[in-house]
Every structure is written in structure tokens, then in C-alpha cells.
């Protein structure tokens, strides 16, 4: 996923793209760039796993690959970028998969199927496990991780809120994505302890388990939520032979103990 190589178009004419020699040299350069990027990522992962994210510097990563920090910063802005570099295409695939779902599906079903389609890819599964284990062992990565997934959630909310036939308001879209992402996070955390089994079936069960609750949320999109009408406080009627609901006063309204005492005078 990360560091993919763009190959020149085979239909390009000799004169239009600078000729076959230029295409060959361009392809070689791109492969070298991709190889260096992959080497930096692999070295960083190895060091983060063995030492911990906080104990590794950019210089440590560079020395593993025998490049300068200047070269490192041609590819990445920071150490955090190395961690999340491979996950970014997964997030983009999720948006694309959701946008391509049939409009006959309700918003939650479309989101569920998009997530399942993406995590069913073994390469995505590998990236999710790699990033999840690093984030779980490095508290300083929690914030950047949440930011990446919050960006994805915002994009999905935008798509969901304009999805025909317009059955989903923006606030409901946020609730639906929050529920789906909570199921995803819980499943990923559980699955990462035993990643010998596929992630997609585990996620499918979790998404299905919360579907009934989601149907209740989706009904909020049918119209504005109305607060219950306020009732005027009920004042108990006082009758000659009755008493109030609390049972503390006689029909005349005077305390019973007081009435008895008055009669005894």
C-alpha cells in the first residue's frame, strides 16, 4: 500500500513523454524512492517494537538504513508519520468503498459493508495489526491515531448526510459512525490478541450485534426529536371525607394531630 510505484503508461509515444530512455530512468528512480521509503518504515517498525516508540529517534532510524535525517524528512514529516504511513491508504479505501455502496442500503448497512470489504484485504489486516499494537504500547501515539480516524469519520459523515434518499441527518450520521467505529475498535482490540484468525468475520459479528440499537438511532432521522409536553402540576382536590396522596392531612386541610388536640381542649 505505502510506497506504491507509478509505472509509466505503455501507450505513451516516443516524442510525447521524452522517449523510452526517459521512461526507463524515471521508473528506476521511482523504484529507488519506493525502496528507500519501505526500508525506513521497516527499520522504524523494528526499532519501535524492540525499544518502544518514545525511545527511538529519527537518527536511530536513519542509521539503520544508512541515510541522513535530511533524506528521512523527504519522505516523512515526523516519527508519527512513519507509524501511520501504511494506514492512510486503508482509510482512503474505506471512503471509496462507502461511496460505491448501492443507494438501496441504509446508511449503517452501507458503512458496515464498506468496512468489511476493506478489512477483508490481508494487506489491510496486516497494517491495522501493526499500527494497533504500536499505538497500544505507546500512549504518545493515541492522539495522532484518534486524529487519523476522526478525519475518516468526518469524511464518512459528509457522504452519509447527503446519501440518497436523504434519510440520514448529519447528527444521526455522526451517531451511526460513532457506533460503527466503537464496534470496530472493540473488535480490533480483541482480535489483536489472537490475530491467527481473520478480522472481517469478527467485525461482521460485532456490527450485527449492535444493529438493533442502530435502528433506533436511525429513526431519529425521520424528523425532529420532540421533548415530552410539560404537564401542569396536579394539585390534590380536598374533599370532606378524603385525604391527600401523602395521607398526612384530613379533608379540612388541618393536620390530623392538631385537630385531635383542638377537640380535646
Answer whether 176's CB lies under 8 Å from 160's CB. Answer: yes
Kindly state the greatest CA–CA separation across the chain: 124
In the prediction, which pLDDT does 82 show? 93
Residue of 97, 106, 40 whose CA lies nearest to 72: 40
Per-residue pLDDT of 139-176, as tens digits, reads 999 999 999 889 999 999 999 988 876 667 888 899 99
Closest by alpha carbon to 86, among 30, 131, 151, 120? 131
pLDDT tens for 109-121 read: 999 999 999 999 9
Q: Which CATH number fits domain 20-79: 3.40.250.10, 3.40.228.10, 3.30.9.100, 1.10.10.60?
A: 1.10.10.60
Interval 12-28 mean pLDDT = 60
Q: Where are the domains of the chain?
A: 20-79, 86-221
Residue pair 55/44 in contact (Cβ under 8 Å)? The answer is: no
What pLDDT is stored for residue 164 in this prediction?
Answer: 73
Residues 54/140, Cβ–Cβ less than 8 Å:
yes
CATH number, span 86-221: 1.10.357.10
Angstrom distance (rounded) from CA 1 to CA 37: 12
User: Treating both helix axes as pointing N-terminal to C-terminal, what angle do 107-119 and 122-137 enclose, rounded to 10 degrees?
Assistant: 90
* Number of Cβ atoms within 10 Å of the Cβ of 84: 22
Using the predicted structure, report yes or no on whether residue 103 has a pLDDT greater than 70: yes
The DSSP string of 106-131 is -HHHHHHHHHHHHHTSHHHHHHHHHH
- Neighbouring CB atoms inside 10 A of 69's CB total 13
Write out the H or E segment, with its range, that includes residue 189: helix 170-191
**Spatial separation of the C-alpha atoms in residues 244 and 251, rounded to whole Å:** 8
pLDDT value for 30: 87
Average confidence score pLDDT of the chain: 79
Contacts of 150 (CB under 8 A, 6+ apart): none
pLDDT of amino acid 166: 60
- Residue 34, by phi and psi: left (phi above 0), alpha (psi -120 to 50) or beta? alpha
pLDDT of 47-62, one tens digit each?
999 999 999 999 999 9
The Cα–Cα gap between 53 and 45 comes to 9
pTM for this prediction: 0.69
Amino acid at each position: 500500500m505505502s510506497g506504491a510505484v507509478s509505472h509509466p503508461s505503455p501507450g505513451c509515444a516516443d516524442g510525447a513523454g521524452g522517449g523510452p530512455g526517459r521512461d526507463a530512468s524515471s521508473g528506476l528512480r521511482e523504484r529507488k524512492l519506493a525502496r528507500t521509503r519501505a526500508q525506513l518504515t521497516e527499520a522504524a517498525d523494528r526499532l519501535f517494537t524492540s525499544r518502544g516508540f518514545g525511545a527511538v529517534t529519527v537518527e536511530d532510524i536513519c542509521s539503520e538504513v544508512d541515510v541522513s535525517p535530511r533524506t528521512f524528512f523527504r519522505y516523512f514529516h515526523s516519527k508519527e508519520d512513519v507509524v501511520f504511513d501504511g494506514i492512510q491508504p486503508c482509510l482512503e479505501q474505506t471512503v471509496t468503498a462507502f461511496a460505491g455502496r448501492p443507494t438501496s442500503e441504509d446508511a449503517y448497512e452501507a458503512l458496515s459493508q464498506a468496512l468489511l470489504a476493506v478489512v477483508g484485504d490481508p494487506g489491510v489486516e496486516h497494517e491495522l495489526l501493526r499500527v494497533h499494537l504500536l499505538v497500544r504500547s505507546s500512549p504518545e501515539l493515541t492522539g495522532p491515531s484518534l486524529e487519523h480516524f476522526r478525519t475518516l469519520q468526518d469524511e464518512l459523515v459528509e457522504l452519509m448526510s447527503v446519501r440518497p434518499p436523504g434519510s440520514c441527518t448529519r447528527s444521526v450520521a455522526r451517531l451511526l459512525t460513532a457506533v460503527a467505529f466503537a464496534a470496530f475498535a472493540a473488535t480490533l482490540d480483541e482480535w489483536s490478541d489472537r490475530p491467527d484468525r481473520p478480522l472481517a468475520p469478527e467485525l461482521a459479528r460485532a456490527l450485527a450485534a449492535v444493529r438493533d440499537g442502530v435502528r433506533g438511532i436511525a429513526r431519529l432521522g425521520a424528523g425532529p426529536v420532540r421533548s415530552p409536553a410539560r404537564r401542569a402540576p396536579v394539585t390534590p382536590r380536598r374533599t370532606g371525607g378524603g385525604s391527600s396522596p401523602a395521607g398526612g392531612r384530613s379533608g379540612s386541610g388541618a393536620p390530623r394531630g392538631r385537630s385531635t388536640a383542638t377537640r380535646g381542649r
